[in-house]
Amino acid sequence: MQGVSERRYAAHVGLSRGAIQKAKAAGRLVFHEDGSIDAAASDARRAATTDPSKSLRAATPKLRPVPEAAVTAVGDTLREQGLAAPPVGNGTTFLQAKTANEVLKAQERRLRLQKMKGELVDRSRATTLVFRLARQERDAWVNWPARAAALLAAELGIEPAAMQRTLETHVRAHLEELADVRPDFR
């Protein structure tokens, strides 16, 4: 045998045997007199007769551009976990993106588990509870001067109405200061 068999030529060029048989039928291969394939001549003929746009190897994959926000998020996630992240603008490798994805999935699972265990609370529910507690505290302080004024006035030997007015003025001023405090649950 002067040349190579179809199987050996298929392995040589990295194609299937069926693709080699199609090339044979299309006349893109060169054969020796004994029927074996002349590898060098066949490579040259295939290169000359094959349309590069129809070749899977020649076609470059058309990748969509990745939004900068996504690349930044991947870098932030990697840095939060103490892993190496690319500098901004240098691009992210597939391995880094995959690592960030796995980290995010693990964080999501951990949060879901904490929520199921009751370790996490809903933000709107927490806000409602804090608001209700603050309102109860405020109401207690607003009513306190009326209850305490008579006792304090008796101890100090002054008129109860004057003591109540003075206490109400100071308590309301203090509550005005506290009204500026806003809880932030972010």
| Residue-level pLDDT, tens digit, the chain, 186 residues | 788 999 999 999 988 999 999 999 988 899 999 989 999 999 999 888 877 666 665 555 566 666 677 777 777 777 787 777 666 556 667 777 777 788 888 888 988 898 889 888 888 888 889 889 989 999 999 999 998 999 999 999 999 999 999 999 999 999 888 887 776 766
Contact yes or no for 20/9 (Cβ under 8 A): yes
pLDDT score for 65: 65
Separation in Å, CA 164 to CA 39, 139, 145, 174: 108, 16, 6, 15
Q: How many domains does the chain have?
A: 3
Shared-domain flag, residues 142 and 172? yes
In a domain, 184, yes or no: no
Residue 122's pLDDT is 82
Verify that 141 and 172 share a domain, yes or no. yes
pLDDT for 42 equals 93
Determine, yes or no, domain membership for 131.
Answer: yes
CA angle (41 as vertex; 31, 25 as ends), nearest 5: 45
pLDDT value of residue 10: 93
| Residue span of the structural domain in which 46 resides | 6-54
Domain membership flag for residue 61:
no
Residues 6+ apart with CB under 8 A from 124: none
79 domain-assigned: yes
Give which of 95, 97, 94, 93 is closest to 76, Cα–Cα. 97
| Co-location of 104 and 141 in the same domain | no
Same domain, 135 and 93: no
Structural domain contains residue 154: yes
- In this predicted structure, what is the pLDDT of residue 75? 74
Is there a single domain that holds both residue 128 and residue 173? Answer: yes
Determine the pLDDT at residue 63. 60
pTM of the model: 0.39
Question: Is residue 59, in this structure, part of any structural domain at all?
Answer: no
pLDDT of residue 87: 64
Q: How confident is the model at residue 106, as a pLDDT?
A: 87
- Same-domain status, 127 and 174: yes
